[in-house]
């Protein structure tokens, strides 16, 4: 039996640790633990080199790294999934800065001095899920800056100087297909396409933050936010006091949700979804749930019947996306339909009112017009005969 001294134990631990001689040494002024490398508050002006290949989390926050060049990581870091660079006074990021870190999922560039998001700036980060850019000096956002970010779920751009954000990235649905949170609060937005935002899925509208922007008062904007308040969307309900706008000719801000019936706009309250159709039409009722990852859903007709699949005569069809399709409308099909949604956290009930006009779009109207024209013609003919 050989006694094990402190020196022997330290040697054994160094061989087991990735920071041993076989894996590389921990950079000066940094703290290393397993595959985590923390160089926070180390008064660094450049990224320390060399960085071990097995680094998974790299914390460089609270330093003086003002420029992130393409060669900051000269070798590929295949395991790096989190890079923290907040509070550095960072003013420049090369468009090739992320070439060697393709597996990055979390990138924190907040509280720096970035002014522009250039073309294809993050295009090498195909696996990125969270991007923090709040509290910078950003004024310009190129619509291709987020190209190839197919897995991005959260984008924080609050507390910047953005006057226009390319919201068409959300409308198209192909650029950022998994985006579930967009923070544009505390910027310089004066107008937003409220009609287009209303068409977005509710689970994205639930996490679209627009408070503390100098928006121009508009009834479409009021109705968009009023619907959000009625449906308890957190982006509206949690920031009601900070959602303000400028009325025409006014110098002080007004709460957007107080615009109902207020001059000069006199906005009307938002109604729940109302759909109008005619006899014989085919309509589709959307179930616009605020939840992403719905477990199950079903519809209930105005008569209280639960719709689980095709109706008896095929006139009621539950589509794969959760919408309800009604074919060959009848007068009795009108009323309020309910969509019951089982979400990942809570349940939700949505209502759609269907108004069925008691005539076909090209039916009795045409007959009535023809009869009226014939009657007028007969009267004129009698008058001419008498003359």
pLDDT tens by residue, 339-376: 878 777 666 777 787 888 876 655 444 444 555 566 77
pLDDT band at 109 (very low <50, low <70, confident <90, very high): very high
What's residue 386's pLDDT?
85
**SS3 string of 75-135?**
CCCCCCCEEECCCCCCCEECCCCCCCCCCCCEEECCCCCCCEECCCCCCCCCCCCEEECCC
Query: 177-181, 261-265, 275-279: lowest mean pLDDT where?
Result: 261-265
Q: Residue 174 has which token pair?
A: 């192909």
Q: What is the pTM of this model?
A: 0.73
Task: Give me the percent of the chain exceeding a pLDDT of 70.
Answer: 84
What's residue 278's pLDDT?
86
- Fold assignment, 275-356: Immunoglobulin-like (2.60.40)
Nearest CA among 271, 266, 171, 251 for reference residue 218: 266
Between 279 and 81, whose confidence is greater?
Answer: 81
Between 328 and 349, whose confidence is greater?
Answer: 328
pLDDT at 282 exceeding the cut of 80: yes
Q: Are 264 and 330 in contact (CB under 8 A)?
A: no
What are the residues facing 255 on neighbouring strands?
A: 244
Nearest CA among 324, 263, 272, 262 for reference residue 298: 324
Sheet holding 347-357, edge to edge: 273-278, 347-357, 335-342, 296-300, 306-307
Task: Provide the mean pLDDT of the chain.
Answer: 83
Residue 157 and residue 3: Cα distance in Å, rounded?
59
Instruction: List the chain domain ranges.
Output: 275-356
What's residue 135's pLDDT?
98
């Amino acid at each position: 039996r050989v006694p094990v001294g402190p020196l022997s134990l330290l040697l054994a631990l160094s061989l087991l640790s990735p920071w041993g001689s076989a894996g590389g040494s921990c950079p000066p002024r940094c703290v290393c633990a397993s595959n985590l490398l923390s160089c926070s508050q180390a008064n660094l002006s450049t990224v320390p080199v060399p960085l071990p290949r097995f680094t998974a989390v790299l914390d460089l926050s609270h330093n003086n790294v003002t420029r992130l060049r393409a060669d900051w990581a000269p070798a590929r870091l295949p395991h790096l999934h989190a890079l923290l660079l907040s509070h550095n006074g960072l003013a420049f990021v090369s468009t090739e800065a992320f070439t060697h870190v393709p597996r990055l999922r979390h990138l924190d560039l907040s509280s720096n001095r970035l002014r522009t998001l250039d073309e294809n700036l993050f295009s090498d980060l195909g696996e990125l899920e969270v991007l923090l850019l709040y509290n910078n000096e950003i004024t310009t956002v190129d619509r291709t800056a987020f190209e190839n970010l197919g897995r991005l779920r959260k984008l924080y751009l609050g507390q910047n100087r953005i006057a226009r954000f390319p919201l068409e990235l959300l409308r198209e649905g192909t650029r950022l297909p998994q985006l579930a949170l967009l923070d544009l609060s505390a910027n310089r937005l004066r107008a937003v396409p409220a009609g287009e935002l209303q068409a977005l899925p509710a689970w994205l509208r639930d996490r679209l933050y627009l408070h503390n922007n100098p928006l121009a008062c508009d009834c479409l904007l009021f109705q968009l936010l009023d619907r959000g308040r009625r449906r308890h969307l957190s982006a509206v309900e949690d920031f009601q006091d900070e959602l303000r706008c400028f009325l025409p000719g006014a110098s002080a801000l007004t709460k957007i949700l107080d615009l109902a019936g207020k001059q000069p706009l006199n906005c009307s309250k938002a109604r729940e979804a109302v759909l109008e159709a005619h006899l014989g039409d085919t309509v589709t009722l959307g179930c616009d749930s605020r939840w992403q990852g719905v477990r199950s859903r079903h519809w209930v007709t105005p008569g209280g019947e639960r719709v689980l699949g095709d109706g008896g005569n095929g006139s009621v069809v539950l589509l794969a996306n959760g919408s309800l399709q009604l074919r060959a409308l009848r007068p009795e099909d009108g009323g309020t339909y309910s969509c019951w949604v089982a979400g990942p956290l809570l349940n939700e009930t949505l209502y759609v009112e269907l108004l069925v006009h008691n005539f076909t779009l090209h039916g009795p109207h045409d007959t009535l017009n023809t009869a009226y024209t014939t009657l007028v013609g007969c009267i004129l003919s009698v008058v001419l005969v008498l003359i």
